[in-house]
Structure 1
Amino acid sequence: MNLEDLRFARFKPLDDAIADWTTMVRNLVDLETEAHNGLRGQANKANWTGVNATVSRKFIGRTAEEFKDAHTQATSIKNILSDTRDELKEHQRALEAALDRALKKNLTVTSTAGGGFTVTMNIHPDRAAKGTTVPEHSESDVTLFRDEIQGILDRATQSDSSAATVLRALADQSRYGFSGAAYKDRDSADGAIKEADRLARLARQKPGDLSVKEFDELNAGLKKYADDELFAERFAAQLGAKGTLEFWAGVNDPHDGARLGHERVGQYGELQKNLSLTLATASQSDSQSMTDWKRDMTGLGSQPVGRPGGPMGFQVMSNLMRWGDFDDGFLKSYGSELIKTEKKITDNGGHAPLAWQRMGMDPFLNRTGTDSGSDPMTGFMKALSNSPDAATDFFSDPFVTKDEDHDFKREGPDGKEVKAGLSNFDYLFEERDWPQEQNSEGERSNTGRNAMALALEAATTGHPAGELPGPDTPAHNARQANLMKSLVSSIADDPERLTKHGYMSDSVGQIAAEYLPDITLATTDDTRGSAKNLFPIAEKRADLSHASVTRFLVSVGQNPEGFANVEVGQKAYMANLLDYHMNPDLPDDLRYPHSPEDTVKEIARRSGEVGGTIAVGRQEAVLGPASQADGDFEDAVAQKKNTWSGAIGTGVGVGVSFIATPVGGAVASGVAGTVSSVVLEHIFQQSEPDQLQEAGKSAGAIWEASTKSNVGISQLAAETAVKAHGAPYGDQALEWARIGTLDGFGDASVNVAQMADDLETEIQPG
């Protein structure tokens, strides 16, 4: 900014712009509130069905988020403009004061060509009017005023140019929507960009040149700014895709990073996490720089990093994807290229991916202590576990077609094996020979398969793994439901795909809990009647067979975590169903067209069958070859209290409109609860250590205890639901629930014997 620009700057247009943005912010506050409480709130309460259950609800949720981001971005722009204007006005006042003081020293400041200025004598004493005394000045005064004015202009230029840089960066973050980056003033936004530039310069150094102090600064900076959109985009763009790979590979190289590793290897895990979170934030940017970064990173995946024979790009980058929410588009293209490389190094899945097997001198690219990081599929699965849409697409995509060169066969319609194509799910869950891994203690590691289970949890449920569905979670779409069908069928066909890898059961159990409407409907064997009203499903139903569901539940029930997820989920689902169907205000077209007695009995019966089937799995785990302690199952149920209590869960089915009925004073705290909260509290109380009795030593004792527990819970749910809605048949409901549950356990016993007898160990008497 030159002298004339600042001296004669008119701030009225900028004042008007700030006033307009202030009005915009105020209006967007109202729009954001209306979008969240009105549009989104009504959408979550609406009874969506069909395509509306997924597309419309999801669109409305995203639209509401866009209003929130629009408000955030408008606020940031207003703050930056206001801060910049105030600074420029202050610089203008400082300039005017300096010019006045110079004039009092008989010095004048004039502009020169090219934007410069000079400080010269204003009136020569020889030419002063007669009797006029001209102020004196020295050469040092000239120098001081020149430096002062230049400093003012430099600071004004910095204010102006940095504001322009920050505003352009904000605008570039989102190509079609709004950025969620929030800044209180220009300095905070400008500081983030400058820090990104500084830290990127540190990361571009050779690992051997990076000092311990610089490492600490880099680690601390990434931790501080990992969620800052401007910082993350700038850091990743300045470092570049190749630079990112070379940095992490170099730091972990046993030769190049030896000196730094000796001092700071204990902090490598934290740096890995902070860098991953930063790159995830950066990947959400639509700027041209990040578009190039994502394209380059995908292209470098199959190339060695650093020296010849170094790790492949996929091996390095996948370890920087274990944390954070990466852009779906990037994950899709990255996953497609990773699969191409996997097919190449395994001859279309014909043998183990030996290129991903860590050998003696290979670097440890993962610093969490769980595995070496040599298999890129592990880190990529972790990334997918945080990105449901990308996970669904990835597992649904083809691995090989039936026309490609491979030996995979499946049973055809006539019972004969024929060459068949595989999806990515088929390959990873059923066929892949996962590389052998060890943790930092030298013990065998199952992190890869476990990460795959987490990714499947996200892919089938529509929300990140480890979370529960909320009011904004859309109903299951066709691809999710088909993936669920594939999972159930795969485990039913070969239960050891799960039981030999029990650590996956917590995720598979959570998946089952969120598909309880589909599972329960399958147990009715009703394809033409009114069971669909009793167990409503908002959009796409997973087409499951009764036999597959039975074998699947027995398998899941053999692991304490899997058992607990289904057990708690099923009881909450049953309680909500009773609450839903006992409500006299339920519209006729949604009502089960039978008597209250039939309604309670059928809900209790189907719940009893699910409970009885997983009880068989629990029984097998305790009394069969695995010899699992029965107390482990109760402990696992007790642990669910922190995640399920007060949670919305599946209601009566994800995407189905349901508002739980308050039940005053129902919970121990005396605070008003709901039918499901009463049931869950009872379950958790029964699983507390001081309530447990010694586990039974026989199949009969375990079965009897499970039956008695399920009867009591269903009776409590029915009684509470009936009272909540003021129905006149409270005592009768207790008997209906008892009969229904006993019938359900009887169904479970018969169906397991007929459909899954090979999954039970014959217990010899004595």
Structure 2
Amino acid sequence: MALTFTDLVEVDLDKLGTAVADWKKTVDSLKTAAENARTGMQAKSDSAQWAGVNATVTRGFIAKTAKEVSDLHAEANSIYQVLADGHPELVQLQKQVKDASGKDASALGVRVNDIGDGKVVCIFPHVRGDTDERTQEQLDAKRELENRINGILSHAAEVDASVARALRKSHGGDAHNAGHSTYESLNDAQAERALELARKGDKMSDAELQEFNRLMRFNGREKDGEFATEFYQGLGGPEKTLEFYAEMSIDGTSPDASKLRLNAMKDLQQNMGFALANATDPDTRNHLPASWGADFRRLGTQQIGWEQGQWNKPYGYQVLGGLLRYGNYDPRFLDPIAEHVTQLHKKDPYFFLNNKAPGQEDVYGFNPSGKLGSGNDPLNSVLEALGHSPEASEKFFTESPTAYNEDGTVKGGSPGFTSYLDLFTDENFDWTVDTNDTNILADEDKTKNALTFGPEALGHALESATTGRPYDDDAGDAIKHTQARADLVREIVDKFGEHPELIRHNENGDIDEESGALYGMRASLGDITAEYMGDFQRAMYEENSSSDMFPTFGQAAGLNPGHAQQFLSEVGQDPDAYAAITTAQQAYTTDVVDHVINGDGRSAASLDGQIRDAVAPGSAMAGIMSDSRADSIYKYHTASDTEFNESAAEKQKWVDRILGMGVDTVGERVPIAGTVLGWASEDIQESVMKSIEQDTTTEADAEAGAEYSDGRSGAIRSADEAVSRALVDNNDIDWKTAEAIKRAARTAAGISHSDGAQWNSESDAN
């Protein structure tokens, strides 16, 4: 019977806490009794001169009694350890579910209903006179809360089941015989169960696979690494790990697999990946030996089989790549593997793909997620791994490469290139078609799409390296830029500013310009631009590096203005990149304007001039974005107005992140919305949406090279609104001065937007 929402909310866990304390006393008492039995009667029995019946019966009885007392202590200690671990975990989960179903649900105006079987549904109660119409934001928030509560219930059910199972095994079911399974922690029992299931391999039932996933999900990411390390050690080493994962992934992605099985395999891939990252981190309290990394590299070019008489065997790296795609890996483990795989690819781009069996029937192979390739080419996999591992990706792209032999051992000398950024952006670098999609070579569109997988993964890796966050960590706060990250951004901007053709995307057959191999990474380049908005705004009008008008977040990148403009021109043609840049630009400009008006040391007499300076760079970037958007739609035919407009809805994170970067600038002042981080966030996002929807031009205007009047109007309005926000709580500036400041902002925005659009048009003509 499943643990229900009502069970978890209403159970009195204080009683369990009392039981834990009682068992601790029992353990202490039995420890003393066992010690006394060992040093007392057992020792005397061993040293006595027995004769006759006593030599066998009595001595044996004493030995058995002493052992039974020791076994009782071991059993009691096992029960205590399991309960002691389970109790605080359940207390924490109970608090989480009470908070979620109480204050969180109340804030959303929803009611939490227990539907049994460990599930709840959240509903909006009907209020008389209410239309019951809900916004998408409200519906999304309700769904998130419902999923969160169900996740807590699932975790609690797993802890409850693990504790019950461990207690049964500790007791053994024999009232007259102590001494059965013993555990030093609840993790011991959970790892034991996970390994019991893993030994069944692809013979695990769907229910058992679900149980396995729960054990891995809720325990594999624990900070001390105990469960993850015990699990991987219990599998039998790196080769056995690869055999198990290969067997499971092929079973779960075969044409005969049900949707339930495939989804469970997607979960297994993630859960095992996160656990492997945990277990291979040398800084966790419990971790695998460093030899695991060397063994994985050795096995990378060896074929792995899991069935007797198996014909088609994948290489180790093809299998391992599926696990590496999930988890934040330590650079000491990941970087040597990533370097080795990259160098193998450079030597022979088709070494791994040629090992793919003809007519292979699996859908996703060793990458059940299906994202960015089937997993047959491990290069995509290690780039995705770097995309989730910021420290590893930063070192990978900023430190000198290490050469490796084919067996994964370190080789003396140079690998033949000086940086991985240079290697991957070489126009002659071979990107492969890594997919099991049908008729891939006969379908040009499928081939083109598959060729973007590698560059997109490269973008993710660079995004991680330059931001200090996993590329898909949308909720993460900004992390101050190190000099190494900022220098890497400058190298990226220089690379694509000098060679924009590498990321150009053209679908217009009338224009004799081929698409560059790397256009698939432009969305990530847009995120990098948004992250380094201060550096890009400095570059627009060549702001002095010592100026504090446009602060950078950490170390400055020192961008080349010409390269920055050309870089933006190409990157802005991607709808996602355009939206990220536009959103971050408006948020950053709003922050700069606020600092000018409300910051220390301002002078009312010169505010109009300072405001002109404050809005000019962002407006110039808006002009570049307007021109790039028109190029994408009318020149290269790679996107539509609808795609540009829809992409903006998902960029709220950049408003919050950019405002978070500005906390140091505005100090302790409490601005418009009440808190520094939440300052005018929704208002700015609404302004961004209006600007993006307004930033359009007709095909006739584009062909005539006309100015983008709608986009220009949007930039003017955005500047005016930035000033208005800053003035809301300011009582020191009179209305006449305020109007003068707004006028200055509008004028500067219009001129600078035209500047940016003109720069872009002129560069297009060259």
State the TM-score, normalizing by the size of structure 2. Answer: 0.67
Do 1:612 and 1:749's aligned partners in 2 also have CA atoms closer than 8 Å? yes
Q: Say what the alpha-carbon RMSD is for the aligned residues.
A: 4.7
State how far apart, in whole Å, the 1-side matches of 2:679 and 2:500 are. 37
* Aligned residue number for residue 737 of structure 1: 745
State how far apart, in whole Å, the 1-side matches of 2:311 and 2:31 are. 58
* Aligned residue number for residue 155 of structure 1: 72
Larger Rg: 1
Matched, 1:623 2:671: no
Matched, 1:250 2:247: yes
* Aligned residue number for residue 334 of structure 2: 331
* Aligned residue number for residue 51 of structure 1: none
Do 2:367 and 2:375's aligned partners in 1 also have CA atoms closer than 8 Å? yes
Do 1:578 and 1:718's aligned partners in 2 also have CA atoms closer than 8 Å? yes
* Aligned residue number for residue 218 of structure 1: 212
* Aligned residue number for residue 524 of structure 1: 541
* Aligned residue number for residue 394 of structure 1: 396
Amino acid in structure 2 at the alignment position of 1:730: A
Displacement of 1:573? 0.3
* Aligned residue number for residue 271 of structure 1: 268
* Aligned residue number for residue 419 of structure 2: 423
* Aligned residue number for residue 495 of structure 1: 500
Displacement of 1:252? 4.5
| Alignment counterpart, residue 228 of structure 2, candidates 232, 235, 238 | 232
Do 1:302 and 1:341's aligned partners in 2 also have CA atoms closer than 8 Å? no
Displacement of 1:497? 2.6
Do 1:482 and 1:542's aligned partners in 2 also have CA atoms closer than 8 Å? yes
Cα offsets for 1:699-735 (capped at 9, x unmatched): 3778111000110010110122134333332101111
Q: 1:430 to 1:84 in 2, by over 3 A?
A: farther
Do 1:510 and 1:565's aligned partners in 2 also have CA atoms closer than 8 Å? yes
Q: 1:264 to 1:601 in 2, by over 3 A?
A: closer
Q: How does 1:12-411 map to 2 (within 5 A)?
A: 85-89=24-28, 91=30, 111-113=41-43, 153-160=70-77, 190-204=185-199, 207=201, 215=209, 217-228=211-222, 229-239=225-235, 240-252=237-249, 264=261, 267-284=264-281, 285=284, 287=286, 289-306=288-305, 310-343=313-346, 345-346=347-348, 355=353, 358-360=356-358, 364-370=365-371, 371-398=373-400
* Aligned residue number for residue 636 of structure 1: 647
Do 2:463 and 2:525's aligned partners in 1 also have CA atoms closer than 8 Å? yes
Q: 1:117 to 1:293 in 2, by over 3 A?
A: farther
Q: 1:509 to 1:199 in 2, by over 3 A?
A: same
* Aligned residue number for residue 465 of structure 2: 459
Amino acid in structure 2 at the alignment position of 1:321: L
State how far apart, in whole Å, the 2-side matches of 1:657 and 1:222 are. 44
Q: 1:697 to 1:153 in 2, by over 3 A?
A: farther
* Aligned residue number for residue 608 of structure 1: 619
Do 2:338 and 2:383's aligned partners in 1 also have CA atoms closer than 8 Å? no
Displacement of 1:563? 0.5
Displacement of 1:676? 5.5
Q: 1:662 to 1:374 in 2, by over 3 A?
A: same
Q: 1:208 to 1:469 in 2, by over 3 A?
A: closer
Do 1:399 and 1:427's aligned partners in 2 also have CA atoms closer than 8 Å? no
State how far apart, in whole Å, the 2-side matches of 1:295 and 1:621 are. 47
Do 1:675 and 1:721's aligned partners in 2 also have CA atoms closer than 8 Å? no
State how far apart, in whole Å, the 1-side matches of 2:33 and 2:634 are. 86
Q: Is 723-732 or 483-492 further displaced after alignment?
A: 723-732
Which secondary structure does the structure 2 equivalent of 1:111 belong to?
helix
State how far apart, in whole Å, the 1-side matches of 2:625 and 2:611 are. 21
Displacement of 1:479? 1.8
State how far apart, in whole Å, the 2-side matches of 1:261 and 1:622 are. 41
| Alignment counterpart, residue 454 of structure 2, candidates 448, 454, 461 | 448
Q: How does 1:535-574 map to 2 (within 5 A)?
A: 535-574=550-589
Which secondary structure does the structure 2 equivalent of 1:246 belong to?
helix
Displacement of 1:218? 3.2
Do 1:551 and 1:755's aligned partners in 2 also have CA atoms closer than 8 Å? yes
Q: 1:692 to 1:514 in 2, by over 3 A?
A: closer
| Alignment counterpart, residue 437 of structure 1, candidates 426, 434, 438 | 434
Cα offsets for 1:209-238 (capped at 9, x unmatched): 666665554344323423233211110122
Q: 1:676 to 1:271 in 2, by over 3 A?
A: closer
State how far apart, in whole Å, the 2-side matches of 1:115 and 1:600 are. 95
Which secondary structure does the structure 2 equivalent of 1:648 belong to?
helix
Do 1:250 and 1:257's aligned partners in 2 also have CA atoms closer than 8 Å? no
Which secondary structure does the structure 1 equivalent of 2:303 belong to?
coil
State how far apart, in whole Å, the 1-side matches of 2:468 and 2:285 are. 24
State how far apart, in whole Å, the 1-side matches of 2:253 and 2:677 are. 62
Cα offsets for 1:727-757 (capped at 9, x unmatched): 3321011111011111212321332244443
Do 1:389 and 1:459's aligned partners in 2 also have CA atoms closer than 8 Å? yes
Amino acid in structure 2 at the alignment position of 1:227: R
Which secondary structure does the structure 2 equivalent of 1:341 belong to?
helix
Displacement of 1:377? 1.8
Which secondary structure does the structure 2 equivalent of 1:303 belong to?
coil
Displacement of 1:250? 3.2
Q: 1:614 to 1:592 in 2, by over 3 A?
A: farther
State how far apart, in whole Å, the 2-side matches of 1:637 and 1:459 are. 24
State how far apart, in whole Å, the 1-side matches of 2:580 and 2:27 are. 60
Alignment size in residue pairs: 597
Amino acid in structure 2 at the alignment position of 1:367: P
Displacement of 1:556? 1.6
- Ranges in structure 2 where 5+ consecutive residues have no aligned partner: 1-16, 85-155, 168-182, 404-414, 441-445, 506-517
Displacement of 1:488? 1.4
* Aligned residue number for residue 763 of structure 1: none
State how far apart, in whole Å, the 2-side matches of 1:211 and 1:739 are. 69
Displacement of 1:520? 1.2
Cα offsets for 1:351-385 (capped at 9, x unmatched): 66565774425672111233210111222222212
Amino acid in structure 2 at the alignment position of 1:316: V
Q: 1:584 to 1:496 in 2, by over 3 A?
A: closer
State the structure with bigger RCO (CA 8 A, min sep 6), 1 or 2: 1
Displacement of 1:543? 2.7
Displacement of 1:189? 6.6
Do 1:538 and 1:656's aligned partners in 2 also have CA atoms closer than 8 Å? no
> Quick one: percent identity of the two aligned structures?
24
State how far apart, in whole Å, the 2-side matches of 1:433 and 1:520 are. 35
Displacement of 1:616? 0.7
Do 1:236 and 1:290's aligned partners in 2 also have CA atoms closer than 8 Å? no
Cα offsets for 1:383-409 (capped at 9, x unmatched): 2122212111112244599xxxxxxxx
Amino acid in structure 1 at the alignment position of 2:72: R
- Ranges in structure 1 where 5+ consecutive residues have no aligned partner: 1-77, 100-108, 125-138, 168-181, 402-418, 759-766
Displacement of 1:603? 1.5
Q: 1:753 to 1:194 in 2, by over 3 A?
A: same
